[in-house]
Homo-oligomer: A and B are copies of this chain.
Amino acid sequence: MSHNQLNYLEELHAAGYRVTSQRQAVLDAVCAAGSHAPIEKILLHVSKLDPSLNASTVYRSLAVFVETGLVVMAMDQGRKVYEIANTQPHHHLRCRVCGSMVTLNAATTSSFFEQLASSYAYKIDMDHLVIDGICKSCQ
Protein backbone atom coordinates (compact mmCIF):
# COMPACT_ATOMS: atom_id res chain seq x y z
CA MET A 1 0.00 0.00 0.00
CA SER A 2 1.28 3.45 -0.86
CA HIS A 3 -0.31 5.37 1.98
CA ASN A 4 0.79 5.62 5.56
CA GLN A 5 -1.98 3.37 6.68
CA LEU A 6 -1.71 4.04 10.39
CA ASN A 7 -2.25 7.73 9.92
CA TYR A 8 -5.28 7.28 7.69
CA LEU A 9 -6.89 4.79 10.04
CA GLU A 10 -6.32 7.06 12.99
CA GLU A 11 -8.00 9.87 11.12
CA LEU A 12 -10.95 7.62 10.38
CA HIS A 13 -11.22 6.78 14.02
CA ALA A 14 -10.83 10.39 15.09
CA ALA A 15 -13.73 11.31 12.82
CA GLY A 16 -15.93 8.90 14.76
CA TYR A 17 -15.94 6.05 12.30
CA ARG A 18 -15.04 2.48 13.14
CA VAL A 19 -11.93 0.98 11.63
CA THR A 20 -13.11 -2.25 10.06
CA SER A 21 -11.24 -4.79 8.00
CA GLN A 22 -13.49 -3.93 5.08
CA ARG A 23 -12.62 -0.25 5.21
CA GLN A 24 -8.95 -1.05 5.43
CA ALA A 25 -9.25 -3.24 2.36
CA VAL A 26 -11.09 -0.54 0.41
CA LEU A 27 -8.49 2.04 1.37
CA ASP A 28 -5.70 -0.29 0.25
CA ALA A 29 -7.57 -0.89 -2.98
CA VAL A 30 -7.85 2.85 -3.65
CA CYS A 31 -4.07 3.10 -3.28
CA ALA A 32 -3.42 0.03 -5.39
CA ALA A 33 -5.71 1.31 -8.12
CA GLY A 34 -3.52 4.37 -8.63
CA SER A 35 -4.60 7.93 -9.24
CA HIS A 36 -7.98 8.88 -10.66
CA ALA A 37 -9.30 5.35 -10.49
CA PRO A 38 -12.87 4.65 -11.58
CA ILE A 39 -15.09 2.52 -9.39
CA GLU A 40 -14.66 -0.69 -11.37
CA LYS A 41 -10.91 -0.53 -10.94
CA ILE A 42 -11.35 -0.19 -7.19
CA LEU A 43 -13.90 -3.01 -7.08
CA LEU A 44 -11.44 -5.21 -8.92
CA HIS A 45 -8.65 -4.54 -6.44
CA VAL A 46 -11.02 -5.00 -3.51
CA SER A 47 -12.17 -8.39 -4.69
CA LYS A 48 -8.54 -9.43 -5.02
CA LEU A 49 -7.93 -8.45 -1.39
CA ASP A 50 -11.20 -9.94 -0.13
CA PRO A 51 -13.57 -11.66 -2.54
CA SER A 52 -16.34 -11.80 0.07
CA LEU A 53 -16.40 -8.04 0.51
CA ASN A 54 -19.75 -6.81 -0.78
CA ALA A 55 -19.92 -4.12 -3.46
CA SER A 56 -22.38 -2.05 -1.47
CA THR A 57 -19.81 -1.85 1.31
CA VAL A 58 -17.28 -0.51 -1.19
CA TYR A 59 -19.66 2.26 -2.26
CA ARG A 60 -20.46 3.07 1.36
CA SER A 61 -16.79 3.07 2.36
CA LEU A 62 -15.84 5.41 -0.46
CA ALA A 63 -18.58 7.80 0.63
CA VAL A 64 -17.14 7.79 4.15
CA PHE A 65 -13.61 8.40 2.89
CA VAL A 66 -14.69 11.29 0.69
CA GLU A 67 -16.74 12.70 3.56
CA THR A 68 -13.73 12.62 5.87
CA GLY A 69 -11.31 13.83 3.22
CA LEU A 70 -9.17 10.69 3.17
CA VAL A 71 -9.98 10.16 -0.48
CA VAL A 72 -10.69 12.78 -3.12
CA MET A 73 -13.34 12.32 -5.76
CA ALA A 74 -13.10 14.03 -9.13
CA MET A 75 -14.92 13.85 -12.44
CA ASP A 76 -13.22 12.52 -15.51
CA GLN A 77 -15.47 12.99 -18.53
CA GLY A 78 -18.62 12.64 -16.52
CA ARG A 79 -17.38 9.65 -14.54
CA LYS A 80 -16.44 9.64 -10.89
CA VAL A 81 -12.82 8.82 -10.17
CA TYR A 82 -11.13 8.41 -6.82
CA GLU A 83 -7.65 8.80 -5.45
CA ILE A 84 -6.02 8.76 -2.03
CA ALA A 85 -5.81 12.28 -0.61
CA ASN A 86 -2.37 13.69 -0.12
CA THR A 87 -1.67 16.02 2.73
CA GLN A 88 -1.70 18.86 0.21
CA PRO A 89 -4.60 19.56 -2.12
CA HIS A 90 -3.59 19.36 -5.76
CA HIS A 91 -5.11 20.32 -9.07
CA HIS A 92 -4.78 19.19 -12.65
CA LEU A 93 -4.89 20.17 -16.27
CA ARG A 94 -6.45 17.44 -18.36
CA CYS A 95 -6.30 17.00 -22.13
CA ARG A 96 -9.68 16.38 -23.71
CA VAL A 97 -8.10 14.59 -26.64
CA CYS A 98 -5.47 12.24 -25.22
CA GLY A 99 -6.63 12.24 -21.60
CA SER A 100 -3.19 13.01 -20.20
CA MET A 101 -3.04 14.92 -16.93
CA VAL A 102 -0.62 17.47 -15.54
CA THR A 103 -0.45 18.44 -11.88
CA LEU A 104 -0.58 22.17 -11.46
CA ASN A 105 1.97 24.19 -9.58
CA ALA A 106 0.36 25.04 -6.25
CA ALA A 107 1.29 28.72 -6.38
CA THR A 108 -0.65 29.25 -9.60
CA THR A 109 -3.92 27.96 -8.25
CA SER A 110 -3.59 29.42 -4.79
CA SER A 111 -3.13 32.92 -6.14
CA PHE A 112 -6.26 32.44 -8.24
CA PHE A 113 -8.14 31.16 -5.21
CA GLU A 114 -6.93 34.09 -3.11
CA GLN A 115 -8.17 36.49 -5.70
CA LEU A 116 -11.57 34.81 -5.72
CA ALA A 117 -11.64 34.85 -1.93
CA SER A 118 -11.03 38.58 -1.76
CA SER A 119 -13.32 39.53 -4.65
CA TYR A 120 -16.28 37.42 -3.57
CA ALA A 121 -15.79 37.03 0.20
CA TYR A 122 -15.67 33.28 -0.29
CA LYS A 123 -13.40 30.95 1.61
CA ILE A 124 -12.24 28.68 -1.21
CA ASP A 125 -12.20 25.06 -0.19
CA MET A 126 -11.23 23.05 -3.19
CA ASP A 127 -8.91 20.06 -2.88
CA HIS A 128 -9.00 18.56 -6.33
CA LEU A 129 -9.84 20.69 -9.32
CA VAL A 130 -9.58 19.31 -12.84
CA ILE A 131 -9.45 21.82 -15.68
CA ASP A 132 -10.01 20.61 -19.21
CA GLY A 133 -8.10 21.76 -22.23
CA ILE A 134 -6.00 20.56 -25.10
CA CYS A 135 -2.35 19.77 -24.53
CA LYS A 136 0.49 21.00 -26.71
CA SER A 137 0.95 17.82 -28.71
CA CYS A 138 -2.78 17.43 -29.36
CA GLN A 139 -3.40 20.99 -30.57
Q: Which residues of A contact B (CB under 8 A)?
A: 66, 73, 75, 78, 80, 93, 95-96, 102, 104-105, 108, 112-113, 115-117, 119-126, 129, 131-136, 139
Contacts and interface: CB of A to CB of B under 8 A. Distances in A.
15 contacts: A73-B78, A75-B75, A93-B116, A93-B122, A93-B124, A95-B122, A108-B119, A117-B133, A121-B136, A122-B133, A123-B133, A123-B134, A124-B131, A126-B132, A126-B133
Contact of A93 (B66, B104, B120): B120
A131 B102 contact: no
A116 B111 CA distance: 12
Contacts of A115: 108
